[in-house]
Structure 1
Amino acid sequence: MSRGQSPGPHSSKYHHPYFTPAEVEYLSVKQRGKLSAAQEERARQSACAFLEGMGARIGFPRRTIATAQNLYHRFHLFFPRKDFHYVDVSLASLYVSTKMHDTLKKPRELLAVSYAIRFPDLVAKSKHPGGEIDLDAMDPQVVERDRQRLLSVERLLLETICFNFTSRMPFPYVIKLGKAFKAGKKLTKLAWRLTIDCHRTLIPIQYPPHIVALAGLYVAALLSSFELPQPPEEPGLRSPQELAEILGQNGDWESKYQVQVDDLEGIAHTLIDLLVQGSQSQTQNTSPRTPSSPSPNPSPRTPHPSTESQSPSDPFDADKLIRLKIVMRQTEHPPRVRQPLGTADPSALYSGDDVGLLGRNEGTVRFLFGPPGVMGHEIQ
């Protein structure tokens, strides 16, 4: 989003690829309104699950789904939740993401799939063998109204990202870093699944993708070693315990990969909280109204039905995850203070004046692809 100048006939808005935890907390509270933090989290998970369901039905690649989830999170840093239904914002986010990753679908196509997910009774009446909804059989005014609403939110989304269509994903880094740290195939696969779940949180809009990927490896190593017997050594590979010890302490790897151990610990706590939430959930279904993931690919939060029942020895058991968090708190490093990008006064982001200009046709607005001061005095 932008860090704007004073409002007026002419203004500039700067895209900020990442936000500090303090910025995220401030803006989240501001847009949450009267909702509690728990209600906000439920709304966030409903939207993420809905996007997972859309992606699974259409067959979108993971990058399209993950980017849509990121766009949804970013949108609600600047627009109140009470003013928008999560389905409208989710559909607009997915539409923009399909453009960014060249997996384009028309708004009507997205609406048809969304109706099939949201209204199972319409699917039961559909004569289509694939269970799709025939939009021609629906009230054309309803469909057109929903389409216009999608396009309206899309415009706000585009201004929110300052028309910057750059999107870097952490998934390729998981493979590269797994090889660099000599992680086994099973551990790297778990890290990949954890990185997928990271996009259900605000982590990817706070940290660059290589840090998110390395945190996925760190959490995977913790989950694969905490209160578990050590597996037989594999020649040339590090054990999960060894990898967890390396990434849990300061070392040369921090400067080599431009990351700090307290970053990994902060991400780990957020991700483990998400796993606890999923473990404590009593229902595992594909409804977009629950935090469960309908993706055919299992994740640590939403395993296949055959593995849903968790035993005390299961690494994703809620009690065990809580014990892991307690142990981590005892040895964690103090978090450093992260400064906002650029040299502008951080309070400029919070004035609310430039946010109020979004979506309006008043004056001339320049949308710039980077924050001021990052690349010299001017944006290059």
Structure 2
Amino acid sequence: MAHAPHPLATLEQIVSTPSARDGIPSEVEDDLRVVGCMLIQEAGVMLKLPQNTMATAQVLFHRFYYISSLCSFGVNDISISALFLSSKLCETPVRLRDLINTYIFLLARIQHLLTLPPNQPFRMSNMASASTAAWHPSNGSKDKGKAKEQGPVWEGFTFEVPGFHDEVFWDWKDVITASEMQILKRLGFNMQVDLPYSHMINYLKILDLVFEDEVAQMCWSILNDLLLTPLYAIHPPHTLACASILLTTRLLRVTLPDRWYLLFDVTYDEIWSCCGRLMVLWHDWGMEQPRGAITSGVPEKEDDRGAKETRWRRAWVLAQGRKAVRRWVEEREKNEADRA
């Protein structure tokens, strides 16, 4: 098969990432990637950007951290810069001030959640509940610059849109400018991104599944969830498209022809490993399971919920900047030395 038109991570980069060499465990790095991509997705939805723009930003975000360390570049800085860069690459321009106001709002929500006592539960659905109905950067002044989330977990949360000449805007502008140049330089100005959505639709047509109930929609949703993992920087798009088809047909109990994946030049091990990576993400981050999943609708145990929320809190704290990551690594190394 011809070489992919866009770069993929090498085996060396996958096995030993720059962050791993700086002492960051793989599970922490994966969590920080999830947080960064969630911010990109939420900001893109609030700014009404097309999925193509958000997906391109998330792919660039993952590629960047295969050649750069989380100890050197903060997640929040790179995620907002990747989205701004993607909006230009995909010719879906967004006002810089609207983008900054949206990120400030999202980070304010995260800070509110971090201030909640550990014994007060919150769900991922609450985290993703913000919408333009609550606040939108272009009409924030309509409600005197303040907005309040709905739901018990958001009681006491308020947000005020920064003033036009506030210093915070210029600080963020400098960060975005510098981080955008770092992304371009470190990725060698190779911004080509081939997304698997069109591949998936074509493959469903070949398999005569495009008109099956829910199949195309669930495949699309799975490809969106895969953006939270680094698989887009590891596997070519046709492999991810096949992975979404395999997982969807398993969940919906749809029969596929034997060895169907050979039609699309992939191996079963490749696509099944992608499915496994996504199922681990669903479990670790407590995301809502698709219809047909074994654990769909099963109440979550209290211990499991507490462990997941501890994981979320750690990731959100470390995503605040490179200094937070460095402090965490230093404390971890010190504790390991004391135990030794």
TM-score class, shorter-chain normalisation, is 0.5 to 0.7
Alpha-carbon distance, 1:74 to partner: 1.0
Alpha-carbon distance, 1:224 to partner: 2.3
Distance in 1, matches of 2:299 and 2:279, equals 11
Q: Which amino acid aligns with 1:128?
A: K
Residue by residue over 1:66-106, the C-alpha shift from the partner in whole angstroms, topping out at 9 and shown as x without a partner, is 11111111111122102222111101110111111111223
Q: Which amino acid aligns with 2:296?
A: D
State the TM-score, normalized to the length of structure 2.
Answer: 0.66
Equivalence for 1:143: 169
Residues 62/38 of structure 1: CA separation in 2 closer, same or farther (3 Å cut): same
Equivalent residue for 2:252, pick from 194, 216, 224: 224
Equivalence for 1:105: 94
Query: Is 1:59 matched with 2:48?
Result: yes
Equivalence for 1:207: 235
Distance in 1, matches of 2:298 and 2:185, equals 40
Residues 192/23 of structure 1: CA separation in 2 closer, same or farther (3 Å cut): same
Alpha-carbon distance, 1:18 to partner: 1.1
Cα root mean square deviation, aligned: 3.1
Q: Which amino acid aligns with 1:139?
A: D
Equivalent residue for 1:187, pick from 215, 226, 230: 215
Distance in 2, matches of 1:181 and 1:195, equals 18
Residue by residue over 1:292-343, the C-alpha shift from the partner in whole angstroms, topping out at 9 and shown as x without a partner, is xxxxxxxxx3479xx9xx9966389899xxxxxxxxxxxxxxxxxxxxxxxx
Contact 2:9–2:63 (CA<8 Å) still a contact in 1?
Answer: no
Query: Is 1:86 matched with 2:112?
Result: no
Higher helix share: 2
Equivalence for 1:24: 14
Equivalent residue for 2:199, pick from 137, 155, 173: 173
Distance in 1, matches of 2:294 and 2:164, equals 51
Alpha-carbon distance, 1:223 to partner: 2.0
Equivalence for 1:50: 39
Distance in 1, matches of 2:11 and 2:229, equals 12
Contact 2:196–2:240 (CA<8 Å) still a contact in 1?
Answer: yes
Contact 2:40–2:54 (CA<8 Å) still a contact in 1?
Answer: yes
Equivalence for 2:186: 160
Residues 187/202 of structure 1: CA separation in 2 closer, same or farther (3 Å cut): same
Q: How does 1:1-380 map to 2 (within 5 A)?
A: 17-27=7-17, 30=20, 33-120=22-109, 127-129=141-143, 131=147, 134-137=161-164, 139-140=166-167, 142-183=168-209, 184-225=212-253, 240=254, 242-243=255-256, 246=258, 249=259, 253-254=261-262, 256-278=263-285, 281=286, 301-302=287-288, 314=296
Residues 261/16 of structure 1: CA separation in 2 closer, same or farther (3 Å cut): same
Alpha-carbon distance, 1:155 to partner: 0.4
SS at match of 2:163: helix
Give the gaps of 5 or more residues in structure 1. Answer: 1-14, 226-239, 282-300, 320-380
Alpha-carbon distance, 1:16 to partner: 6.1
Distance in 2, matches of 1:317 and 1:21, equals 39
Distance in 1, matches of 2:34 and 2:298, equals 19
Residues 83/165 of structure 1: CA separation in 2 closer, same or farther (3 Å cut): closer
Distance in 2, matches of 1:223 and 1:149, equals 43
Contact 1:190–1:220 (CA<8 Å) still a contact in 2?
Answer: yes
Distance in 2, matches of 1:277 and 1:20, equals 26
Distance in 1, matches of 2:191 and 2:29, equals 27
Give the gaps of 5 or more residues in structure 2. Answer: 113-134, 148-158, 302-340
Residues 96/311 of structure 1: CA separation in 2 closer, same or farther (3 Å cut): closer
SS at match of 2:35: helix
Q: Which amino acid aligns with 1:17?
A: P
Quick one: percent identity of the two aligned structures?
20
Count residues in correspondence. 255
Residue by residue over 1:9-66, the C-alpha shift from the partner in whole angstroms, topping out at 9 and shown as x without a partner, is xxxxxx96112455312225545x2322222222111111111110111011111111
Residue by residue over 1:161-192, the C-alpha shift from the partner in whole angstroms, topping out at 9 and shown as x without a partner, is 32223221111122111121122241221111
Contact 1:174–1:214 (CA<8 Å) still a contact in 2?
Answer: yes
